[in-house]
Chains A and B, each alone.
Chain A
Amino acid sequence: MLARARIVVERRGARTVVRELRSQPPLTLLPQRGAVASRSPAATVHMLSSATTPLGGDDVGLEVVVGPGAHLVLTGVAATLALPGQGTSGPSRLVVRLTVGDGAAVQYLPEPTVVTRRADHRGELHAELGAGARLRCREVLVAGRTAEPSGRYLGLTRVVDTATGRPLLVQEQELGDPTLHASGAHLAGRRVLGTEVLVWGEDPPTGLAGEWWSLSPLAGRGSLATAVGTDAVTAGRGLAHAIAGHPGWAATTLTSAAP
Protein backbone atom coordinates (compact mmCIF):
# COMPACT_ATOMS: atom_id res chain seq x y z
CA MET A 1 0.00 0.00 0.00
CA LEU A 2 1.20 3.48 -0.77
CA ALA A 3 -0.15 6.07 1.64
CA ARG A 4 0.60 9.63 2.66
CA ALA A 5 -0.71 11.29 5.78
CA ARG A 6 -0.29 14.92 6.76
CA ILE A 7 -1.18 16.91 9.80
CA VAL A 8 -0.73 20.62 10.39
CA VAL A 9 -1.49 22.22 13.73
CA GLU A 10 -1.20 25.84 14.82
CA ARG A 11 -1.62 27.84 17.93
CA ARG A 12 -4.72 29.98 18.34
CA GLY A 13 -4.78 31.93 21.59
CA ALA A 14 -3.91 29.52 24.37
CA ARG A 15 -4.91 26.44 22.40
CA THR A 16 -3.64 24.31 19.55
CA VAL A 17 -5.98 23.67 16.66
CA VAL A 18 -5.73 21.20 13.82
CA ARG A 19 -5.63 23.17 10.56
CA GLU A 20 -5.09 20.32 8.15
CA LEU A 21 -5.58 16.60 8.56
CA ARG A 22 -5.24 14.13 5.75
CA SER A 23 -4.78 10.40 6.01
CA GLN A 24 -5.65 7.21 4.21
CA PRO A 25 -5.45 3.50 5.03
CA PRO A 26 -3.40 1.87 6.37
CA LEU A 27 -2.65 4.90 8.59
CA THR A 28 -5.67 6.83 9.82
CA LEU A 29 -5.34 9.94 11.96
CA LEU A 30 -8.11 10.65 14.42
CA PRO A 31 -8.13 13.88 16.43
CA GLN A 32 -9.34 13.66 20.01
CA ARG A 33 -12.48 15.73 20.55
CA GLY A 34 -14.82 16.38 23.45
CA ALA A 35 -14.62 18.12 26.79
CA VAL A 36 -11.19 16.84 27.81
CA ALA A 37 -9.66 17.81 24.48
CA SER A 38 -11.18 21.29 24.55
CA ARG A 39 -9.67 22.02 27.98
CA SER A 40 -6.16 20.91 27.01
CA PRO A 41 -3.72 23.44 25.51
CA ALA A 42 -2.30 20.59 23.39
CA ALA A 43 -4.01 18.89 20.46
CA THR A 44 -4.04 15.10 20.63
CA VAL A 45 -4.25 12.96 17.51
CA HIS A 46 -4.48 9.18 17.57
CA MET A 47 -2.66 7.07 14.98
CA LEU A 48 -4.75 4.06 13.98
CA SER A 49 -3.90 1.16 11.73
CA SER A 50 -6.94 0.97 9.48
CA ALA A 51 -5.56 -2.00 7.54
CA THR A 52 -2.95 -4.62 8.35
CA THR A 53 0.34 -2.76 8.13
CA PRO A 54 3.23 -2.69 7.63
CA LEU A 55 3.27 -5.49 5.10
CA GLY A 56 6.19 -6.04 2.79
CA GLY A 57 5.96 -3.47 -0.02
CA ASP A 58 3.99 -0.90 2.02
CA ASP A 59 5.22 2.65 1.68
CA VAL A 60 3.73 4.95 4.28
CA GLY A 61 4.69 8.56 4.89
CA LEU A 62 3.58 10.84 7.70
CA GLU A 63 4.30 14.54 7.57
CA VAL A 64 3.71 16.61 10.68
CA VAL A 65 3.97 20.39 10.83
CA VAL A 66 3.64 22.06 14.22
CA GLY A 67 3.31 25.82 13.96
CA PRO A 68 5.14 28.23 16.31
CA GLY A 69 4.02 27.83 19.91
CA ALA A 70 1.62 24.95 19.18
CA HIS A 71 1.67 21.63 21.04
CA LEU A 72 0.76 18.33 19.40
CA VAL A 73 0.58 14.86 20.95
CA LEU A 74 0.53 11.96 18.49
CA THR A 75 -0.23 8.63 20.12
CA GLY A 76 -0.50 5.09 18.87
CA VAL A 77 -3.48 3.00 19.80
CA ALA A 78 -2.15 -0.54 19.50
CA ALA A 79 1.14 -2.32 18.88
CA THR A 80 2.22 -2.58 15.25
CA LEU A 81 3.06 -5.96 13.74
CA ALA A 82 5.55 -5.75 10.88
CA LEU A 83 4.76 -8.62 8.53
CA PRO A 84 6.28 -9.92 5.30
CA GLY A 85 4.48 -9.27 2.02
CA GLN A 86 3.74 -11.81 -0.68
CA GLY A 87 6.45 -12.97 -3.03
CA THR A 88 8.97 -10.31 -3.96
CA SER A 89 7.19 -7.33 -2.49
CA GLY A 90 10.36 -5.87 -0.96
CA PRO A 91 10.65 -4.16 2.41
CA SER A 92 7.90 -2.15 4.07
CA ARG A 93 8.71 1.47 4.85
CA LEU A 94 7.44 4.13 7.23
CA VAL A 95 8.91 7.62 6.96
CA VAL A 96 7.91 10.25 9.52
CA ARG A 97 8.87 13.91 9.17
CA LEU A 98 8.30 16.27 12.06
CA THR A 99 8.75 20.00 11.50
CA VAL A 100 8.50 21.76 14.82
CA GLY A 101 8.26 25.55 14.78
CA ASP A 102 9.83 28.04 17.18
CA GLY A 103 8.62 27.43 20.74
CA ALA A 104 6.39 24.56 19.58
CA ALA A 105 6.25 21.06 21.04
CA VAL A 106 5.51 17.61 19.68
CA GLN A 107 5.23 14.26 21.36
CA TYR A 108 5.37 11.28 19.01
CA LEU A 109 4.40 8.19 20.98
CA PRO A 110 3.61 5.17 18.83
CA GLU A 111 3.00 1.83 20.54
CA PRO A 112 5.68 -0.91 20.18
CA THR A 113 6.59 -2.29 16.77
CA VAL A 114 6.90 -6.07 16.70
CA VAL A 115 9.17 -7.31 13.92
CA THR A 116 7.83 -10.75 13.06
CA ARG A 117 9.80 -13.50 11.38
CA ARG A 118 10.48 -12.86 7.67
CA ALA A 119 9.35 -9.23 7.94
CA ASP A 120 11.68 -6.64 6.39
CA HIS A 121 10.78 -3.22 7.71
CA ARG A 122 12.48 0.18 7.39
CA GLY A 123 11.68 3.14 9.59
CA GLU A 124 12.86 6.73 9.34
CA LEU A 125 12.14 9.58 11.68
CA HIS A 126 13.35 13.04 10.76
CA ALA A 127 12.74 15.89 13.18
CA GLU A 128 13.62 19.52 12.54
CA LEU A 129 13.42 21.74 15.59
CA GLY A 130 13.05 25.50 15.55
CA ALA A 131 14.37 27.80 18.27
CA GLY A 132 13.21 26.60 21.69
CA ALA A 133 11.16 23.79 20.12
CA ARG A 134 10.52 20.72 22.27
CA LEU A 135 10.41 17.10 21.15
CA ARG A 136 9.60 13.79 22.75
CA CYS A 137 9.86 10.69 20.54
CA ARG A 138 9.50 7.16 21.77
CA GLU A 139 10.38 4.00 19.90
CA VAL A 140 9.95 0.48 21.27
CA LEU A 141 11.11 -2.35 19.02
CA VAL A 142 10.32 -5.98 19.73
CA ALA A 143 12.46 -8.61 18.01
CA GLY A 144 9.82 -11.18 17.07
CA ARG A 145 6.69 -12.38 18.86
CA THR A 146 7.17 -14.68 21.86
CA ALA A 147 9.48 -17.57 20.95
CA GLU A 148 9.72 -16.32 17.37
CA PRO A 149 12.97 -15.26 15.70
CA SER A 150 13.10 -11.62 14.66
CA GLY A 151 12.55 -10.35 11.15
CA ARG A 152 14.75 -7.62 9.75
CA TYR A 153 14.42 -4.01 10.82
CA LEU A 154 16.53 -0.99 9.97
CA GLY A 155 15.64 2.33 11.52
CA LEU A 156 17.10 5.81 11.33
CA THR A 157 16.42 8.71 13.66
CA ARG A 158 17.78 12.13 12.79
CA VAL A 159 17.04 15.17 14.95
CA VAL A 160 18.35 18.53 13.77
CA ASP A 161 18.30 21.93 15.42
CA THR A 162 17.34 24.16 12.47
CA ALA A 163 18.32 27.37 14.29
CA THR A 164 21.98 26.27 14.39
CA GLY A 165 21.90 23.60 11.66
CA ARG A 166 23.45 21.26 14.19
CA PRO A 167 22.44 17.59 14.33
CA LEU A 168 21.41 16.65 17.87
CA LEU A 169 21.01 12.91 17.39
CA VAL A 170 21.70 10.57 14.48
CA GLN A 171 21.13 6.93 15.23
CA GLU A 172 20.37 3.76 13.30
CA GLN A 173 19.01 0.62 14.91
CA GLU A 174 19.15 -2.83 13.42
CA LEU A 175 17.23 -5.95 14.36
CA GLY A 176 17.18 -9.38 12.81
CA ASP A 177 20.75 -10.62 13.14
CA PRO A 178 20.90 -13.19 15.98
CA THR A 179 24.68 -12.77 16.30
CA LEU A 180 24.28 -9.04 16.87
CA HIS A 181 21.35 -9.46 19.31
CA ALA A 182 23.37 -11.93 21.41
CA SER A 183 26.38 -9.58 21.70
CA GLY A 184 26.90 -7.91 25.07
CA ALA A 185 27.52 -4.69 23.12
CA HIS A 186 24.14 -4.68 21.35
CA LEU A 187 21.10 -6.30 23.02
CA ALA A 188 22.88 -8.80 25.30
CA GLY A 189 20.23 -11.37 24.36
CA ARG A 190 17.25 -9.12 25.24
CA ARG A 191 14.32 -9.00 22.84
CA VAL A 192 13.11 -5.47 23.34
CA LEU A 193 14.83 -2.16 22.71
CA GLY A 194 13.28 1.10 23.84
CA THR A 195 14.61 4.58 23.13
CA GLU A 196 13.14 7.95 23.91
CA VAL A 197 14.49 11.27 22.73
CA LEU A 198 13.70 14.23 24.94
CA VAL A 199 14.50 17.74 23.82
CA TRP A 200 12.47 19.28 26.57
CA GLY A 201 14.04 22.11 28.54
CA GLU A 202 16.76 21.46 31.05
CA ASP A 203 18.88 18.33 30.53
CA PRO A 204 20.57 16.42 33.38
CA PRO A 205 24.16 17.66 33.93
CA THR A 206 25.48 14.08 33.74
CA GLY A 207 23.96 10.79 32.69
CA LEU A 208 21.84 8.53 34.88
CA ALA A 209 21.78 4.77 34.74
CA GLY A 210 19.92 1.84 36.23
CA GLU A 211 20.65 -1.80 35.56
CA TRP A 212 19.17 -1.95 32.04
CA TRP A 213 18.36 1.67 31.31
CA SER A 214 20.17 4.98 31.00
CA LEU A 215 19.51 8.63 30.37
CA SER A 216 22.29 10.61 28.79
CA PRO A 217 22.50 14.27 27.85
CA LEU A 218 23.30 14.73 24.14
CA ALA A 219 26.17 16.95 23.01
CA GLY A 220 23.97 19.80 21.76
CA ARG A 221 20.68 19.94 23.58
CA GLY A 222 18.35 17.09 24.46
CA SER A 223 18.78 13.71 26.10
CA LEU A 224 18.41 10.10 25.05
CA ALA A 225 16.84 7.43 27.21
CA THR A 226 17.74 3.84 26.33
CA ALA A 227 16.33 0.66 27.83
CA VAL A 228 16.46 -3.01 26.93
CA GLY A 229 14.34 -5.81 28.36
CA THR A 230 13.10 -9.32 27.90
CA ASP A 231 9.59 -7.94 27.21
CA ALA A 232 7.97 -4.64 26.26
CA VAL A 233 6.68 -4.02 29.79
CA THR A 234 10.16 -4.24 31.32
CA ALA A 235 11.72 -2.04 28.64
CA GLY A 236 8.84 0.45 28.99
CA ARG A 237 9.40 0.60 32.73
CA GLY A 238 13.11 1.24 32.11
CA LEU A 239 12.24 4.16 29.84
CA ALA A 240 9.80 5.52 32.43
CA HIS A 241 12.54 5.42 35.11
CA ALA A 242 14.95 7.15 32.76
CA ILE A 243 12.71 10.03 31.74
CA ALA A 244 11.55 10.55 35.34
CA GLY A 245 15.15 11.66 35.96
CA HIS A 246 15.01 14.30 33.22
CA PRO A 247 14.70 17.71 34.91
CA GLY A 248 12.98 19.47 32.00
CA TRP A 249 10.40 16.72 31.54
CA ALA A 250 9.84 16.32 35.31
CA ALA A 251 9.12 20.07 35.60
CA THR A 252 6.45 19.83 32.86
CA THR A 253 4.71 16.79 34.32
CA LEU A 254 4.62 18.40 37.78
CA THR A 255 3.06 21.56 36.37
CA SER A 256 0.44 19.77 34.28
CA ALA A 257 -0.53 17.51 37.21
CA ALA A 258 -1.58 20.59 39.18
CA PRO A 259 -5.33 21.41 39.01
Chain B
Amino acid sequence: MASLAALTLADARFPGGGHVHSGGVEEAAARGLITGVPDLGSFLSGRLRTTGLVGAAFAAAAVVAAARPDAGWAVLDGELDARTPAAAQRDASRAQGRAALRAARLSWPSPVLDALCAVTPRPHHALLVGAVVGIDGGSPAEAARCLAYLAVSGPASAAVRLLGLDPLAVNAAIVALRPALDAVVAQAAQAAALSPDRLPAPGAPVLDLMAQAHVHHHREQVRLFVS
Protein backbone atom coordinates (compact mmCIF):
# COMPACT_ATOMS: atom_id res chain seq x y z
CA MET B 1 0.00 0.00 0.00
CA ALA B 2 1.53 3.25 -1.13
CA SER B 3 1.60 6.32 1.05
CA LEU B 4 -0.31 9.13 -0.67
CA ALA B 5 2.09 11.59 0.95
CA ALA B 6 5.10 9.86 -0.64
CA LEU B 7 3.41 9.94 -4.06
CA THR B 8 2.42 13.58 -3.69
CA LEU B 9 5.86 14.72 -2.55
CA ALA B 10 7.55 12.85 -5.42
CA ASP B 11 5.18 14.38 -7.98
CA ALA B 12 6.80 17.08 -10.12
CA ARG B 13 3.57 19.08 -9.78
CA PHE B 14 3.81 19.23 -5.98
CA PRO B 15 4.15 22.96 -5.22
CA GLY B 16 7.38 22.56 -3.24
CA GLY B 17 9.71 24.61 -5.45
CA GLY B 18 11.80 21.62 -6.55
CA HIS B 19 11.80 22.77 -10.18
CA VAL B 20 14.31 25.58 -9.55
CA HIS B 21 17.06 23.12 -8.52
CA SER B 22 19.14 21.08 -10.96
CA GLY B 23 21.07 19.13 -8.31
CA GLY B 24 24.41 20.01 -9.91
CA VAL B 25 23.36 19.15 -13.48
CA GLU B 26 23.59 22.75 -14.70
CA GLU B 27 27.18 23.15 -13.48
CA ALA B 28 28.14 19.67 -14.74
CA ALA B 29 26.68 20.48 -18.17
CA ALA B 30 28.52 23.83 -18.25
CA ARG B 31 31.78 21.95 -17.60
CA GLY B 32 31.08 19.42 -20.33
CA LEU B 33 30.78 16.56 -17.82
CA ILE B 34 27.27 15.86 -19.10
CA THR B 35 26.71 16.06 -22.84
CA GLY B 36 24.23 13.28 -23.51
CA VAL B 37 22.07 10.59 -21.96
CA PRO B 38 24.92 8.12 -21.12
CA ASP B 39 26.84 10.81 -19.12
CA LEU B 40 23.62 11.81 -17.43
CA GLY B 41 22.94 8.21 -16.39
CA SER B 42 26.42 7.95 -14.88
CA PHE B 43 26.02 11.31 -13.11
CA LEU B 44 22.63 10.34 -11.69
CA SER B 45 23.92 6.96 -10.53
CA GLY B 46 26.78 8.64 -8.61
CA ARG B 47 24.40 11.25 -7.20
CA LEU B 48 21.94 8.55 -6.09
CA ARG B 49 24.60 6.50 -4.29
CA THR B 50 26.03 9.52 -2.40
CA THR B 51 23.76 12.50 -1.74
CA GLY B 52 20.74 10.33 -2.59
CA LEU B 53 21.64 7.76 0.06
CA VAL B 54 22.19 10.44 2.72
CA GLY B 55 18.80 12.01 1.96
CA ALA B 56 17.01 8.65 1.82
CA ALA B 57 18.50 7.52 5.14
CA PHE B 58 17.51 10.75 6.90
CA ALA B 59 14.01 10.64 5.40
CA ALA B 60 13.64 7.07 6.68
CA ALA B 61 15.00 8.05 10.10
CA ALA B 62 12.54 10.97 10.17
CA VAL B 63 9.62 8.53 9.76
CA VAL B 64 10.83 6.63 12.83
CA ALA B 65 11.38 9.92 14.70
CA ALA B 66 7.93 11.26 13.82
CA ALA B 67 6.31 8.35 15.66
CA ARG B 68 8.18 9.07 18.91
CA PRO B 69 6.91 11.43 21.62
CA ASP B 70 10.28 13.16 21.53
CA ALA B 71 11.34 13.09 17.89
CA GLY B 72 14.82 14.55 18.49
CA TRP B 73 14.65 16.79 15.39
CA ALA B 74 17.57 18.95 16.54
CA VAL B 75 19.92 15.94 16.60
CA LEU B 76 18.82 14.75 13.14
CA ASP B 77 19.11 18.30 11.81
CA GLY B 78 22.66 18.63 13.18
CA GLU B 79 23.78 15.23 11.86
CA LEU B 80 22.42 16.02 8.38
CA ASP B 81 24.12 19.43 8.44
CA ALA B 82 27.42 17.70 9.26
CA ARG B 83 26.91 15.39 6.25
CA THR B 84 26.31 18.33 3.92
CA PRO B 85 29.65 20.15 3.86
CA ALA B 86 28.82 22.39 0.87
CA ALA B 87 27.05 25.51 2.14
CA ALA B 88 25.29 25.86 -1.22
CA GLN B 89 23.79 22.39 -0.83
CA ARG B 90 22.62 23.08 2.72
CA ASP B 91 20.88 26.20 1.40
CA ALA B 92 19.25 24.28 -1.46
CA SER B 93 18.07 21.54 0.91
CA ARG B 94 16.61 24.02 3.41
CA ALA B 95 15.01 26.17 0.70
CA GLN B 96 13.21 23.08 -0.64
CA GLY B 97 12.30 21.97 2.87
CA ARG B 98 10.81 25.34 3.71
CA ALA B 99 8.82 25.53 0.45
CA ALA B 100 7.50 22.00 0.97
CA LEU B 101 6.65 22.79 4.60
CA ARG B 102 4.24 25.55 3.53
CA ALA B 103 2.32 23.12 1.34
CA ALA B 104 2.58 20.31 3.88
CA ARG B 105 1.13 22.27 6.81
CA LEU B 106 -2.10 22.80 4.85
CA SER B 107 -2.33 19.21 3.65
CA TRP B 108 -1.08 17.28 6.70
CA PRO B 109 -1.51 19.55 9.74
CA SER B 110 0.11 17.84 12.72
CA PRO B 111 1.93 18.59 15.98
CA VAL B 112 4.81 16.61 14.44
CA LEU B 113 5.34 19.36 11.86
CA ASP B 114 4.97 22.01 14.58
CA ALA B 115 7.74 20.32 16.57
CA LEU B 116 10.01 20.13 13.51
CA CYS B 117 9.28 23.76 12.72
CA ALA B 118 10.05 24.78 16.31
CA VAL B 119 13.60 23.40 15.87
CA THR B 120 14.07 25.16 12.55
CA PRO B 121 11.67 27.09 10.31
CA ARG B 122 13.80 25.94 7.36
CA PRO B 123 14.01 22.16 7.84
CA HIS B 124 16.14 20.02 5.55
CA HIS B 125 14.04 18.62 2.72
CA ALA B 126 14.75 14.99 3.67
CA LEU B 127 13.51 15.51 7.25
CA LEU B 128 10.37 17.31 6.08
CA VAL B 129 9.59 14.51 3.61
CA GLY B 130 10.16 11.84 6.27
CA ALA B 131 8.01 13.69 8.81
CA VAL B 132 5.11 14.05 6.33
CA VAL B 133 5.29 10.42 5.17
CA GLY B 134 5.33 9.38 8.84
CA ILE B 135 2.28 11.55 9.65
CA ASP B 136 0.49 9.96 6.69
CA GLY B 137 1.18 6.47 8.06
CA GLY B 138 3.86 5.60 5.50
CA SER B 139 6.92 3.45 6.17
CA PRO B 140 10.61 4.41 6.38
CA ALA B 141 11.17 2.60 3.06
CA GLU B 142 8.47 4.67 1.37
CA ALA B 143 10.03 7.92 2.55
CA ALA B 144 13.47 6.68 1.47
CA ARG B 145 12.16 5.76 -1.98
CA CYS B 146 10.55 9.19 -2.35
CA LEU B 147 13.81 10.97 -1.48
CA ALA B 148 15.98 8.65 -3.59
CA TYR B 149 13.69 9.09 -6.56
CA LEU B 150 13.69 12.88 -6.17
CA ALA B 151 17.50 12.80 -6.02
CA VAL B 152 17.52 11.66 -9.64
CA SER B 153 14.20 12.76 -11.17
CA GLY B 154 14.65 16.50 -10.54
CA PRO B 155 18.18 16.62 -11.98
CA ALA B 156 17.08 14.46 -14.94
CA SER B 157 14.28 16.87 -15.77
CA ALA B 158 16.73 19.79 -15.50
CA ALA B 159 19.03 18.00 -17.99
CA VAL B 160 16.17 17.71 -20.49
CA ARG B 161 15.59 21.44 -20.28
CA LEU B 162 19.27 22.45 -20.28
CA LEU B 163 20.62 20.16 -22.98
CA GLY B 164 17.50 19.48 -25.02
CA LEU B 165 17.85 15.73 -24.41
CA ASP B 166 15.19 13.33 -25.58
CA PRO B 167 12.73 13.11 -22.66
CA LEU B 168 11.86 9.51 -23.52
CA ALA B 169 15.52 8.44 -23.44
CA VAL B 170 16.05 10.33 -20.15
CA ASN B 171 13.04 8.61 -18.64
CA ALA B 172 14.49 5.25 -19.67
CA ALA B 173 17.81 6.26 -18.03
CA ILE B 174 15.99 6.90 -14.75
CA VAL B 175 14.19 3.55 -14.92
CA ALA B 176 17.53 1.84 -15.66
CA LEU B 177 18.71 3.03 -12.22
CA ARG B 178 16.21 0.68 -10.60
CA PRO B 179 18.77 -1.75 -9.09
CA ALA B 180 20.77 1.13 -7.57
CA LEU B 181 17.56 2.78 -6.36
CA ASP B 182 16.39 -0.43 -4.69
CA ALA B 183 19.78 -0.88 -3.02
CA VAL B 184 19.76 2.69 -1.68
CA VAL B 185 16.21 2.31 -0.35
CA ALA B 186 17.07 -0.98 1.36
CA GLN B 187 20.19 0.49 2.94
CA ALA B 188 18.32 3.61 4.06
CA ALA B 189 15.40 1.67 5.53
CA GLN B 190 17.81 -0.58 7.40
CA ALA B 191 19.63 2.45 8.83
CA ALA B 192 16.39 4.19 9.88
CA ALA B 193 16.35 2.86 13.43
CA LEU B 194 20.07 3.47 14.07
CA SER B 195 21.27 6.20 16.34
CA PRO B 196 21.51 9.35 14.14
CA ASP B 197 25.32 9.52 14.48
CA ARG B 198 25.57 6.15 12.73
CA LEU B 199 23.53 7.08 9.64
CA PRO B 200 25.39 6.79 6.32
CA ALA B 201 27.48 9.75 5.15
CA PRO B 202 28.93 9.03 1.66
CA GLY B 203 30.72 12.01 0.16
CA ALA B 204 30.28 13.33 -3.38
CA PRO B 205 33.44 15.41 -3.90
CA VAL B 206 32.81 16.80 -7.39
CA LEU B 207 29.15 17.48 -6.58
CA ASP B 208 30.29 19.46 -3.52
CA LEU B 209 32.84 21.53 -5.35
CA MET B 210 30.48 22.18 -8.27
CA ALA B 211 27.74 23.32 -5.88
CA GLN B 212 30.04 26.06 -4.62
CA ALA B 213 31.17 27.04 -8.13
CA HIS B 214 27.55 27.19 -9.29
CA VAL B 215 26.74 29.86 -6.71
CA HIS B 216 29.45 32.12 -8.12
CA HIS B 217 28.35 31.51 -11.71
CA HIS B 218 24.75 32.06 -10.73
CA ARG B 219 25.67 35.51 -9.44
CA GLU B 220 28.04 36.50 -12.23
CA GLN B 221 26.55 34.89 -15.31
CA VAL B 222 23.15 33.77 -16.46
CA ARG B 223 22.11 30.49 -14.90
CA LEU B 224 18.70 28.89 -15.13
CA PHE B 225 18.69 27.00 -11.81
CA VAL B 226 19.37 28.04 -8.22
CA SER B 227 21.47 24.92 -7.58
Contact = CB atoms under 8 A, between A and B. Distances in A.
A212 B90 contact: no
B87 interface: yes
Contacts of A193: 205
Nearest to A156: B201
A168 B82 contact: yes
Contacts of B45: 179-180, 183
Contact of B43 (A184, A212, A219, A220): A184
Contacts, number: 130
Contact of A186 (B50, B79, B211, B213): B50
Interface string B31-64: 0011000010011111101110000000000000
A224 interface: yes
A95 to B, nearest CB: 16
A220 B85 CA distance: 10
B226 interface: no
Interface in A58-93: none
The contact size tier of chain B is: 35 or more
A149 interface: no
Contacts of B174: none
Q: Is the interface of B mostly helix, strand, loop or mixed?
A: helix
Interface string B182-223: 000000000000000100111111111101110110000000
B205 A195 contact: yes
A44 interface: no
A218 B85 contact: yes
A185 B86 CA distance: 13
Contacts of A188: 33, 206
Contact of B87 (A159, A170, A217): A217
6 contacts: A166-B82, A185-B46, A187-B206, A195-B203, A209-B215, A228-B206
Interface of A: 156, 158-159, 166-174, 179-180, 182-188, 190, 193, 195, 206-220, 224, 226-228
